């Protein structure tokens, strides 16, 4: 099977590499020539446009920043829709608004092109080692057909419902992650302020009810003061914007999400928008006049 991949950023490039490792023939497109060249050297074929990618492939995967970029690449001039053949499948692994996924899927369907919205969780480390979690929206048949592709890039893939359900699930995921990091940061600053070693606090609680994958991933980064992403604050802000927009549209209150969003906005104002979201601890550190380490 020949797969197209559009968007070779912090997530897309390692995901593409894992597809090549799994033996898939890959056609790639990205605005940055350097990322394309790196994949070409590993065996991928370069395409000049999203249209050209879609014209050569049975399945096209997009991994882009947000809804406007996905719409442009898929529906715009020289986009995926112009080149795609009836019966082909678009897997959009971007984290975008659920309504945008449904809009794109409806326009693709007019040409007989199927779609799965399949955002991921795990950040760059899991993209590199091929253990991403895919949250998928679409038909059972399309999900089953693409399951081996998900297996090449991730450790789990769950069909959550029709198109749009994948991104609803991702929004829920991003809310839980954001609030969890805020709680971890608040607790570690409290321990430090009280004169208790925060790393020992972490070791004591990680095996109990407070333990979580987020705690194990982010607490060590905080202790080492390594805030290289990971998952950038500006991208988490983008996701929380989509959470709040969707919640407001549906009439679902999101007070904790809104609070963490304001914390992240404060960090962005202070120049930390490209830091890992574990840098949320610095919001609390500034208030407490202390540093966790």
Q: Look at residue 136 and give its three-state secondary structure.
A: strand
Question: Out of 170, 193, 218, 224, which one is annotated catalytic?
Answer: 170
**Short-list 105, 44, 94, CA closest to 65:** 94
**Short-list 238, 232, 265, CA closest to 95:** 238
Q: Which domains does the chain have, with CATH numbers?
A: 2-162 (3.40.50.720), 168-288 (1.10.1040.10)
Query: Catalytic: 71?
Result: no
Report the C-alpha gap between 151 and 130 in whole angstroms: 8
How far CA 81 is from CA of 29, 55, 74, 86, in Å, comes to 15, 9, 6, 10
Could you list the beta-strand ranges (E) of the chain: 2-6, 25-29, 45-46, 59-62, 89-92, 114-117, 120-121, 132-137, 154-161
Predicted TM-score (pTM) of this structure: 0.91
Report the C-alpha gap between 151 and 148 in whole angstroms: 5
* Contact yes or no for 11/125 (Cβ under 8 A): no
- Give me the tens of pLDDT residue by residue for the chain, a chain 293 residues long: 899 999 999 899 999 999 999 999 999 999 989 999 999 999 999 999 999 999 999 999 999 999 999 999 999 999 999 999 999 999 999 999 999 999 999 999 999 999 999 999 988 889 999 999 999 999 999 999 999 999 999 999 999 999 999 999 999 999 999 999 999 999 999 999 999 999 999 999 999 999 999 999 999 999 999 999 888 999 999 999 999 999 999 999 999 999 999 999 999 999 999 999 999 999 999 999 999 98
Q: Is the dihedral of CA 35, 32, 13, 143 positive or negative?
A: negative
């Amino acid at each position: 099977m020949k797969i197209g991949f559009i968007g070779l950023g912090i997530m897309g490039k390692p995901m593409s590499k894992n597809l090549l490792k799994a033996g898939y023939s890959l056609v790639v497109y990205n605005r940055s020539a350097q990322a394309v060249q790196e994949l070409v050297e590993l065996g991928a074929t370069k395409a000049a446009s999203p249209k050209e990618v879609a014209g050569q492939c049975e399945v096209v995967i997009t991994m882009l920043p947000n809804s406007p970029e996905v719409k442009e690449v898929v529906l715009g001039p020289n986009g995926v829709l112009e080149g795609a053949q009836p019966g082909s499948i678009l897997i959009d692994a971007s984290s975008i608004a659920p309504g945008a996924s449904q809009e794109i899927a409806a326009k693709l369907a007019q040409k007989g092109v199927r779609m799965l919205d399949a955002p991921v969780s795990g950040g760059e480390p899991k993209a590199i080692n091929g253990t991403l979690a895919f949250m998928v929206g679409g038909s059972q048949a399309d999900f089953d057909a693409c399951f081996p592709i998900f297996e090449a890039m991730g450790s789990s893939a769950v069909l959550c419902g029709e198109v749009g359900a994948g991104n609803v699930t991702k929004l829920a995921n991003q809310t839980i992650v954001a609030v969890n990091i805020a709680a971890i940061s608040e607790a570690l600053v409290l321990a430090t302020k009280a004169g208790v070693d925060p790393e020992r606090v972490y070791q004591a609680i990680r095996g109990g009810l407070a333990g979580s994958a987020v705690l194990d991933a982010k607490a060590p980064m905080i202790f080492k003061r390594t805030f290289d992403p990971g998952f950038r604050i500006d991208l988490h802000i983008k996701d929380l914007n989509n959470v709040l927009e969707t919640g407001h549209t549906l009439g679902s209150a999101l007070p904790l999400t809104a609070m963490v969003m304001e914390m992240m906005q404060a960090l962005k104002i202070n120049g930390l928008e490209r830091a890992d979201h574990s840098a949320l601890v610095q919001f609390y550190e500034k208030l407490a006049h202390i540093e966790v380490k």
